[in-house]
Amino acid sequence: MFDHLLILAASHTEPDLVYIWQQATLETKFVLFALAIMSVFAWSVMTSKTIQMRRARKLNRIFLEEYRNQKKVLDIFDRDVRVDGCPLFNVYRDACSVVKARLHPVLPSASNPPAAPAAYAAAPQPVLSPQPSPMAPITTMSLDAGQTIPFQLSSPAPQQQPQPSLEPQPPQMQISIKTIEHIKRNMERSVSEESLRLESGLIMLAIAVSGSPFLGLLGTVWGVMSAFSYVAVAQSADLATMAPGVAGALIATVGGLLVAIPSMFGYNWLVHNLRVFTVEMDNFAQDLTSKIETEFLFED
């Protein structure tokens, strides 16, 4: 049957697709128009999401290099850096904003005053002895005939050691274990929001993958039904009567497959990248939580 269709199409001077489009029914043309619109949306989503994910991957790599080189958790946040389109930076910024808002000074308790510095503790304590009075008795001890030296009964006044100045140390900024739990929940919310932002638009590809073949099949079945109705009206079942209508109907299936196949490959590739981004954000959130606990955690 398909050989006869090709021979019939070759007998016309118009291109095959133009001739088939002319022979298609109104319903088939409507289905093809809907498939064309769906194809435009699918390709626009695949192009935009590919650009977005490639840019996000590049920014994540640059941010991770800067994050691993910083000495403290809040170094990048204190510089007021903005990196639009970087999922890891958005998670980092949300977590640091909570840390900055919840930091509080930890002062030493009154019952446990701060210990004196080691230099002051190791310094020898002066021994105070009473100073000799001007009227203190002086005893003389004879050495030789006619030579005497004064002998003082009281000990000489010791020299005072300079005491080191005890300057108050600035209080250390810390957070409690409850704040750590709040930061974890905040980062989980940030990871979910970034995943949803990366996933937005993929529903169009899912619809194109699952819906376009059925839409094309609908156009084909409708076109074949119309072709058989033309045969019944013409009361002739020869190939010349049936072939144009069947060819016009089958083009709907071709159109559905042309929309579904690229959308399927693009959807699978984007979903894989989305899973990679989600895992990277989860791992980064855990690493950031560990660094915050090490630097700021204060247990009551």
Residues 236-287 have pLDDT tens digits of 666 666 777 777 788 888 999 999 999 999 999 999 999 999 999 999 999 9
Check residue 156 and give its pLDDT: 52
- The structure's pTM equals 0.67
SS (H, E, C) 67-128: HHHCCCCCHHHHCCCCCCCCHHHHHHHHHHHHHHHHCEEECCCCCCCCCCCHHHHHCCCCCC
Check residue 152 and give its pLDDT: 46
pLDDT beyond 60 at 114: no
pLDDT beyond 80 at 7: no
C-alpha span between 191 and 200 (Å, rounded):
14
C-alpha span between 26 and 252 (Å, rounded):
12
Contact of 76 with 70, CB cutoff 8 Å = yes
Residues 135-183 have pLDDT tens digits of 444 444 444 444 544 444 444 555 565 555 445 555 567 788 888 888 9
Nearest residue to 95 via CA among 156, 178, 186: 186
